[in-house]
Amino acid sequence: MPDISAEIQLRPTRIGFLVRPTDLASVRAIMRACACLWGGTYNPIIPVFKRPPKEWKPKIYERFKGSAIAKGYVRFFEPDVYVEAKADLLEEAGLGALREQHALHPQVITLKELFESEGGRKWSEPEFGLNVHDVLVHIYKTEQQFVRRDKRESVLVKPERRNALTESVFGVYPTSPDVTYIQKAYTDVYKPEKVAANPATWRRVFLKRAETPLRVTRYGLDTQRYWYHDLLLFVFDPSRATDLIDLWNLKLEPHPVLPIPVGWFEALADDIYELLKAQHPNSPAGTARAITAGSMSCASRTTAIGPLRLYCRSTPSIARGRVWGWGAIRFRSAARDGFSRRLTKILGSPCRC
């Protein structure tokens, strides 16, 4: 009789965060909470609304209600548990049945309850998922306590007041006293340089692979990518919660995502050009796609697209095709990569892009 072998692999708890798509403060808080969780960068953010924001109103969604959209996100991302930015968002999204307790522990909590100290303790553990502090301890014991020949630089980027650029691109830890030990662990393990959020820091992270809090949450996770998962550029406005939600959820797909704040695009144009050439040295037209967030003005979108034309043999065409009709600039027709199939799965209706 032949031997049968099996391999058991653990994955992080997938937490679905429910939030109103105009609540920037809550979106920032969610992203900071995710920086404290193993696999946190892959936790979906599910928008809950009755009327979609103006930037989320393409024609193909006119017949869908907000509750139908929220249920589509749930079907697509299949969260294990849920965290509400505000109480009762689950019912507002038409998902109240998920609150029924069929397990020993509650499956739905509020964002405030995710990190809440108990028994008079001065520190708190996450109610759901694995604390990234445990991951950092493992990294130190197996890697960082030894002198590495190819030492990798690391950064801790200062957050900005009026937007969530740092939270969405680099990662920021919460400032609550009961979880400051997590940032201390990151500092102790990596000895990061504290830097400002600017194009120079972006180059260090995305061109030189500097370590960041968000990157640590992906430690040990194998993203299944194949040759057709080409690079995807996402140009966004970090002051708009809708753009941030789109960017965050886009990271859950197999395509490698390069987030580009619209205000930095001109400064990063040469770097992006060289990166595209390096990705596809034998393809003059390139195979990357650029996505401009729906809330961007026409002037901002034109500014973002302009430098990319240098690398395209033909003028990129704007096409609708993702959850809320992001403007996808496709560099070749073969790069559609199942947009219609994924949109059908989310909304339960054929894509008319």
Residue-wise pLDDT tens digits, 120-155: 788 999 999 999 999 999 999 988 777 666 678 999
pLDDT above 60: residue 5: yes
List pLDDT tens digits, range 42-51: 999 999 998 8
Query: Is 224 within a domain?
Result: no
Asked if residue 83 and residue 176 are part of one domain, the reply reads: yes
Asked if residue 198 and residue 236 are part of one domain, the reply reads: no
Asked if residue 212 and residue 313 are part of one domain, the reply reads: no
> Positive or negative, the Cα torsion across 277, 282, 284, 286?
negative
| Residue 326, φ and ψ in degrees, nearest 5 | -60, 150
Query: Final residue of a domain: which of 181, 216, 251?
Result: 216
Predicted local confidence at residue 52, as pLDDT:
81
Task: Name the average pLDDT for the chain.
Answer: 79
Q: Which residues contact 231 (CB under 8 A, 6 or more apart)?
A: 255, 256, 258, 275, 276, 279, 287, 288, 289
| Domain tally, the chain | 2
List pLDDT tens digits, range 64-89: 778 888 888 898 899 999 999 999 99
Read off the tokens for 95. Answer: 């998902």
Asked if residue 254 and residue 193 are part of one domain, the reply reads: no
List pLDDT tens digits, range 259-269: 999 999 889 98
pLDDT above 60: residue 23: yes
Query: Final residue of a domain: which of 190, 216, 242?
Result: 216
Asked if residue 271 and residue 176 are part of one domain, the reply reads: no
* Parent domain of 35: 15-44+79-216
Read off the tokens for 57. Answer: 């109103």
Highest mean pLDDT among 101-105, 125-129, 289-293, 302-306: 125-129
**Apex 70 CA angle, 347 and 21, nearest 5:** 120
Query: Is 308 within a domain?
Result: yes
Query: Is 3 within a domain?
Result: no
